[in-house]
Structure 1
Amino acid sequence: MSGGSEQARKTAEGLEYLTGFGNEHSSEAVPGALPIGRNSPQRSPLGLYAEQLSGSAFTEPRSHNRRSWLYRIRPSAAHPRFTLAADNGALRSAPFTEAPADPNRLRWNPLPDPAPGTDFLAGLWTLGGNGDATQRSGMAIHLYSANASMTDRAFSDSDGELLIVPERGGLLLRTEFGLLSARPGEMALIPRGVRFRVELQDETARGYVCENYGRPFELPDLGPIGANGLAAARDFRAPVASYEDAERPTEVLNKFCGNLWTATYDHSPLDVVAWHGTHVPYVYDLRSFNVLGSISYDHPDPSIFTVLTSPSDTAGLAGVDFVVFAPRWLVGEDTFRPPYFHRNVMSEYMGLIDGAYDAKAEGFVPGGGSLHNMMSAHGPDRETFDRASAAELKPQKIDDGLAFMFETRWPITATAQAAGADHLQGGYDDVWQGLERHFRA
């Protein structure tokens, strides 16, 4: 049976969320499950076990410290031995050494439909990444395509946090903290080490995943922008406590140092009755992003669209940024409206959730993605350039598409399966052919 079933139903419908990003939250599925005034009392209420889940070192600064107290039916320590899983499927992990890092511009069509009975975990397909999961630096880019819910099994990632961006089909994420519903146009984040199960809300599901090995994502500083703008902390939603009290075999898979390890519990590990802390899953509606831009002239850098950032040891140079190109007005004068031609020290993977992207006329479709590694020249294709150069500069609303970008300080090395995939577009470079010479001395 499941506890807190009415709360679970409301949470799955998007109701009764806690709000705020990076703040101390608390929730209980049964009144009185949370202890008053003590994190780990001699006897926790209702016969529960107190357990701390730390997503950061104990001694990290308070503003960066991530930890939560869980009050659960059985402690996590009560589990059998983990063994190496027989097969990682299409899931890969850093360091990425299967193929050399490629400076060429690459673009993929969406993942092919999977075989019947493929769940979220089995449907994960790694495109590439950088860094080293064992050193907690860098990131990986995965895609997923699924047509079945996870049943009697749960997953956790010891290597990093998972930022999930649905493109097709809704996901119901049953986590240790409760339930989160994420549909296309939203993103969900599962912190490092948190166990969860993915159930489909539609017949099929497809989307993108950024696995962040480095420091947890946080809201970027606003600097001269001031107090308001970009993503608002109040729009991030944490789950209401909802637990499973299930005494049946459950497979628990753990991604550890790049490999999947498996153990079969005799109970569900999603048995947290109450919790409080800052190491918490959350969902964010990308269309609630407060877009800022020029109201005079010129074209701001895409960094103005940063939703979340994973800082590195160099100020302003992120391990990975999550950027969204949400609906917005363009009003600047005397400027080239689409993203301009540029080369960048950062490496960019871009995906499309819905509609069309204003810098590409064709070939970039929902579910697909493009990779522009550091210093690779890119920008609008020829058709977009010609159209934008002659367009009347009047106020323009861009609301027919929703795109995003994973941007990282290190080159993204594609996996062998991505470099040789049938859905890798062979003629991507052709979109820049025909850009004529207009210079006259």
Structure 2
Amino acid sequence: GTTHRFAPTSPTFLMSIEARSEIRFPDKGILGHHALVDPAVLRVPTPGEASSLEADAQGEWRVDVKRDGEITRVFYPFSPLDVVGWKGTVSVMQLNVADIRPVSSDRYHLPPTAHATFVMRDAVVCTFLPRPLENGDPTALKVPFYHSNIDYDEVLFYHNGDFFSRRGISPAMLTLHPQGIHHGPQPGAKERAAGLSRTDEVAVMLDTKNRLRVADGADAFERADYWKSWQTKETR
């Protein structure tokens, strides 16, 4: 990995995804090298741009190294971020969702993989953004199809917008659909989508072959009746 730090200048909320393999852009095939994300829009740090990192009370600089869920602390007698430049492709980088240009189809509902932003050895990150819907064929599906992930756990983070395929979803929510659990549009979603010409959503999806475990304390925020949102009638 690359030694780095976050230095926000305002209150910041982060969704952190950690990988054990190289994170890269997906193969874009016949769409071309500049599809979805043009490398020219990527932002990388400029040496000397960030504020200096102050030493702790002992005059040392600490770096946390994470491996297998455990943290090892390494202490330096000098700032480990005193970089003056670099050569190669291993670097911290920033990609704004506003710079992603999603693909769309006029007559065919594209699978989620068409919106892949990053791929790893056992995982993929997709970004769903405002885009035209399938308006060229009245029989075309405008909402995600029902499916069951037999290989992946799926997490969706809802950042902003109107998520018409889900009821009761608002920004900053997360949904988790483990392997083998059927899911898809909720009742009424297909009908609501029929009169729409565009999506108005910003959401990030993580699909991973590694089993995800819910963190301690998360049950305090869980909507335990989420599964009922697929029902057309109340079940006691």
Deviation at 1:412, TM superposition (A): 2.4
The aligned counterpart of 1:240 is: 46
Dislocated runs of 4+, deviation >6 Å: none
Instruction: State how 1:9-408 maps to structure 2 within 5 Å.
Output: 192=1, 194-202=2-10, 204-214=11-21, 216-242=22-48, 244=52, 248-296=59-107, 298-310=108-120, 312=121, 319-330=122-133, 331-333=135-137, 334-345=139-150, 346-362=152-168, 364-388=169-193, 391-392=194-195, 396-399=197-200, 401-408=201-208
Deviation at 1:240, TM superposition (A): 1.2
Cα distance in 2, alignment partners of residues 245 and 430 from structure 1: 50
SS for the counterpart of 1:304 is helix
SS for the counterpart of 1:282 is coil
Cα separation, partners in 2 of 1:226 and 1:266, compared to 1, 3 Å: closer
Deviation at 1:276, TM superposition (A): 1.7
Contact 2:158 2:170 in 1 (8 A): yes
Unaligned runs of 5+ in 2: none
Contact 1:305 1:325 in 2 (8 A): yes
Cα distance in 2, alignment partners of residues 273 and 207 from structure 1: 28
Cα distance in 2, alignment partners of residues 332 and 411 from structure 1: 39
Cα distance in 2, alignment partners of residues 274 and 224 from structure 1: 35
Residue identity over aligned pairs, in percent, reads 23
Deviation at 1:322, TM superposition (A): 1.0
The residue type paired with residue 172 of structure 2 is G
- With CA pairs under 8 Å and 6+ residues apart, which has the higher RCO, 1 or 2? 1
Matched residue count: 226
Unaligned runs of 5+ in 1: 1-191, 313-318, 436-441
Deviation per CA, 1:292-331: give whole Å up to 9, x if none: 12212x3111111001111x3xxxxxx1111000111112
Deviation at 1:407, TM superposition (A): 1.1
The residue type paired with residue 424 of structure 1 is E
Structure having the larger proportion of residues in strand: 1
The residue type paired with residue 257 of structure 1 is D
Which is greater in Rg?
Answer: 1
Deviation at 1:429, TM superposition (A): 0.6
TM-score by length of 1: 0.47
Contact 2:147 2:184 in 1 (8 A): yes
Cα separation, partners in 2 of 1:382 and 1:262, compared to 1, 3 Å: same
The residue type paired with residue 198 of structure 1 is F
The residue type paired with residue 358 of structure 1 is F
